[in-house]
Amino acid sequence: MKIKRFDLIVVGAGPSGLSAAIEAAKSGLKTVVFDENARPGGQLFKQIHKFFGSKEHKAKIRGFHIGEQLLKEADEAGVEVVLNATVIGLYQDHEVVVRLGEEVHHYKADAVLIATGAAENMVLFDGWTLPGVMGAGAAQTLMNLYGVKPGNRVLMLGSGNVGLVVSYQLLQAGCQVVALVDAAPKIGGYGVHAAKVARTGVPFYLSHTIKTVEGEDHVTGVTIAQVDNHFQFIEGTEKHFDVDTVCVAVGLSPMSQLMKMAGCAMEDNPKRGGQVPLLDEYGMTSVPGVFSAGDVSGIEEASSAMIEGRMAGTAIAEYLGFITKEERDRNLEALNNSLSGLRQGMFAPANRGKDIKETEEGIPISQNLLHHGFVTDEEIMRFPGVTHQDRIHPVIECTQNIPCNPCQDACHIHCIKIGDKITQLPAVDTTKTCINCGMCVASCPGQAIFLVNEDEGDGTATVTLPYEFLPLPEVGAKGKALSRSGQPLCDAEVTQVRTAPAFDSTALLTMKVPKEYAMRARFFKA
């Protein structure tokens, strides 16, 4: 049996695997990437939203565009990517066994990187096996890869970032999200993600979970009920919804089976998502030459996975003698600084499970946001991005310390300032004059920035908001302005719709409302 050899074998063509392969190949390693899917890129090609972070983290770029960039980089670096290739074994001496079609092939390398990512968790409830119950990632695959609506009336279980983001994408696909439900007492994901779902009118039910899903051969309804502090149902709190789809977004678990097979030392670490390998400072497991990066070694965002991948590729290049220790350390220092920027703020891995009451600036966090998905009119005024001015001005409803600063870079007039620390709340400099270019609105990954003229002089005000639904309303279209809670607030008329390549498919919709609603109207419904 002939065994083909490489310097590096990467298992998984997702964000971390491709990033590691690129970095290694640039250092001269003969590198191959195996992936069981029909197309590379992992989760990136399902992610149509814009990323958080800073410019170095590819902030304000949509996930699938980042995937395209990585594939181009891999091709230019000479990385061989083999698809529809299921790795079924990792054995002694870095022997990797791969199923290609009906054949089994054996490969060897001087180093192996496991970047297999994570799989969706599932919870059990009556009716969980009915057709129409699916993971949120599966729904995202149907919508964003294949252009198929998962259903018409959908209930989402889970309020982490995946549940919030996919709920919004279900709305974009034309589905009705009847409710967003979570057994936890507080929303688990970014507040800006929750807010953009809430202002479309989707109700949140915290401290609730699914009691039963009804149907014979497919989902026809779902009943939820409130739970107590021990997650036991409270009788008499049941609520029923007619739905044809239930999406489940209750976390991810690392797909670490290959490392167990290889004999790598493992630990059960809930903060990292479950069974993960023990790694040294360079991402190597207890088995010499076997490395790990991305979600398989701890659940984080794709931005972090890409940096981890580049770190692993650099470490492997030094381990195999393609670069010096000095080159490795210099590269790793820059990458570590970049990664540490993403691991700050309320949602940092070190803060998981903590009950944080205030922002880094000492501002009380909106409890209404945590429990209902939106900041109240009274709460919003305490944040530095929300000001009153007698001219058009940005209103930034970013109320949590998350690692993100593209709004600061987008404003060439410097109306918006964040400061040196990427997690600081954005503030508005009232001494600067906004020119209404709209770049801040389009650049915000959380869709949390609005341009407001509180008094047009005729009893009306105008609100410019990010709009990512099709078809776009036409100028002159009449409808309702919705509040932050998604409730109808007042009559509204579209006065302008702006699109531009620089906005990257985020339209800027300007609506006219009575001026007393200028600081409350946050969505347009035709």
Residue identified by tokens 């006065």 is 495
Mean pLDDT across 438-463: 97
> Taking 80 as the threshold, does the pLDDT of residue 319 lie above it?
yes
Other CB atoms within a 10 A radius of the CB of residue 428 amount to: 22
* C-alpha span between 376 and 369 (Å, rounded): 8
Name all domains of the chain by residue range, CATH numbers in brackets.
Answer: 4-119+252-342 (3.50.50.60), 122-248 (3.50.50.60), 378-525 (no CATH)
Give me the mean pLDDT over the 510-524 stretch. 98
Closest by CA position to 162, among listed 188, 185, 144, 181: 188
Determine the pLDDT at residue 55.
80
In order of 127, 134, 214, 245, 256, the CA distances from 131 in angstroms are 9, 8, 11, 8, 28
User: What span, in angstroms and rounded, lies between the C-alpha atoms of 94 and 262?
Assistant: 9
pLDDT digits (tens, 9 = 90+) for 440-451: 999 999 999 999
Average pLDDT over the chain, rounded to an integer: 96
* Arithmetic mean of pLDDT, 495-520: 97
Separation CA 148–CA 512 (nearest Å): 35
What does the pLDDT average to over 453-480?
A: 97
pLDDT band at 59; cut points 50, 70, 90: confident
Three-point CA angle 398, 400, 404, nearest 5°: 70
Residue 314 banded pLDDT, cuts 50, 70, 90: very high
Mode of pairing for the β-strands spanning 153-157 and 239-241: unpaired
What value does the mean pLDDT take over residues 77-95?
96
Q: Roughly what angle, to the nearest 10 degrees, separates helices 136-144 and 161-172? A: 30
DSSP type of residue 186: S
**pLDDT at residue 271 tops 90:** no
Residue 501's identity, in one-letter code, is P
Please enumerate in sequence order all residues whose Cβ is within 8 A of that of 194, keeping only pairs 6 or more positions apart, or say none: 159, 164, 187, 204, 369, 373, 374
Q: Which of 507, 514, 468, 466 shows the shortest CA–CA distance to 493?
A: 514
Phi, psi (rounded to 5 degrees) for 440: -65, -40
Q: Which of 54-58, 75-79, 404-408 is the least confident region?
A: 54-58
Residue whose C-alpha is closest to residue 384's, from 360, 368, 412, 406:
360
Percent helix / strand / coil, the chain, rounded to 5 = 25, 30, 45
Flag whether pLDDT at 41 surpasses 90: no
Is pLDDT of 146 > 90? yes
Beta-carbon contacts of residue 511 (< 8 Å; ≥ 6 apart): 462, 463, 465, 481, 492, 493, 494, 495, 521, 524
* Opening angle at CA 163, ends 134 and 58, nearest 5: 120
- Strand pairing report for 416-417 and 427-428: antiparallel
Q: 15, 145, 7, 6: which is closest to 74 by C-alpha?
A: 15
**How sure is the predictor about 433, in pLDDT bands with cuts at 50, 70 and 90?**
very high
453 band by pLDDT with thresholds 50, 70 and 90 = very high
pLDDT of residue 1: 62
Q: What is the pLDDT of residue 213?
A: 98
What tens digit of pLDDT does each residue of 202-226 get? 999 999 999 999 999 999 999 999 9
Q: Can the peptide bond before residue 471 be classed as cis, meaning omega within 30 degrees of 0?
A: yes
Exposed / middle / buried, residue 148 (Cβ in 10 Å: 0-12, 13-18, 19+):
exposed
- Give 313-377 as a 3 state SS string: HHHHHHHCCCCCHHHHHHHHHHHHHHHHHHCCCCCCHHHCCCCCCECCCCCECCHHHHHHCCCCH
Q: What are the tens digits of pLDDT across the range 168-194?
A: 999 999 999 999 999 999 999 999 999
CB 371 within 8 Å of CB 186:
yes
pTM for this model (two decimals): 0.94
**Averaged over 130-145, what is the pLDDT?**
97
Distances 189 to 46, 338, 348, 448 between C-alpha atoms, Å: 18, 22, 12, 15
Cα of 523 vs its chain's centroid, Å: 22
Q: How far is CA 228 from the centre of its chain?
A: 29
Does residue 415 carry a pLDDT above 70? yes
